[in-house]
Amino acid sequence: MEEEEKKKVLVVEDTKDHAELIKLKLIEQGYQVEVVESGEDALSLPHLSSFYAIVCDFLLPKMNGIEFLIELKKRNVDVPVILMTAHGDEQTVVRAMKEGAYDYIVKEVDFNFLELLPPVIEEARGKYLLTRQNTELTKKLKEKTERLTELTKELKRLSITDPLTNIYNRRFFFEALKLEFNRASRYLQPLALIILDLDDFKKINDTYGHLAGDKILAEVASILVNGVRQGDVVARYGGDEFALLLPATELENGLKVALRLKKKVTEHCFFIKQKELTLTLSAGVVATDDFSAKTAEGLLEEGDKRLLAAKKRGKDQIFPPYKPSS
């Protein structure tokens, strides 16, 4: 049994002689007992939630036993309730259990129910403790499941994210390239690919150190992400190279995007060790409406070739050169 101070039973009974008999039987069995005559009186008790159990008659003045159960639920009073009924009406019992009663007992005219009351209280208390334990376990399981879901999402994010620039990594880029290439082929939509490289970036690393170079790469990544649409893919391709996938984009618009991004990077001021630096970049642009690639790898290979062509033209170039359509 639980500690003595936790075994105080509240009896809600308006018939005084019944209440006295119930009280005497429970005291005989080692319970502390408090008696009130109505549901309203019970609800007014400031220590209502501290009772070991509540034994409540169904027929009460103003508020009956079912209404009392409903009110307890509204007030989040978490105490096992045993409903006493004089007629054993099945509908009343079913309703009582639905509204939160843990058990019921039929008040027989010969008062034999008094012998049954203590074990019924203990059984109800056991059900209550088991229910509460199950609720706590369910809550903990839910919390752990949610945490596991969060960790899974974070692991997935980390697996596709470049840790330095916080944009997509090379692995994700290849998956996205295949997906977008197949989608473009299936729905006969254009797909543009931009591969860009920071010019003379090695000199920055050699002069200012790799930490400075890392800072610049992160800033460039931010410029690129903020310079394209939400559905476009920006990834670190390797070293100081970046790759961009532009779905539903023809070559002309792909070249416009490349030029706009080149301008943004060129005009950006990079502050390294209290010095202001400017950079240029070169880019190769290819699109499915301009180059007939049979595979995603073929499109990527052509993009690499065009980046190399831009470098050979003196850097700070886009290849092919942009020629506005008439």
Question: Which sequence positions are flagged as catalytic?
Answer: 240
- DSSP labels for 112-125? THHHHHHHHHHHHH
Task: State residue 236 phi and psi, 5-degree precision.
Answer: -85, 115
Sign of the dihedral through C-alpha 219, 222, 227, 233: positive
- DSSP labels for 303-314? HHHHHHHHHHTT
Separation CA 227–CA 185 (nearest Å): 26
Separation CA 285–CA 156 (nearest Å): 30
Q: How many CB atoms lie within 10 A of CB 60?
A: 22
Separation CA 307–CA 317 (nearest Å): 9
Tell me which amino acid residue 56 is.
C
Separation CA 16–CA 37 (nearest Å): 8
Q: Which helix (H) or strand (E) holds 217?
A: helix 210-226
Structural contact between residues 80 and 69, judged by C-beta atoms closer than 8 angstroms? no
Task: State residue 276 phi and psi, 5-degree precision.
Answer: -95, 125
Cα 301 → chain centroid: 40
Tell me which amino acid residue 74 is.
K
Q: Which of 310, 286, 284, 281 is nearest to 296 (CA)?
A: 286
105 DSSP β-pair partners: 84
Cα 195 → chain centroid: 35
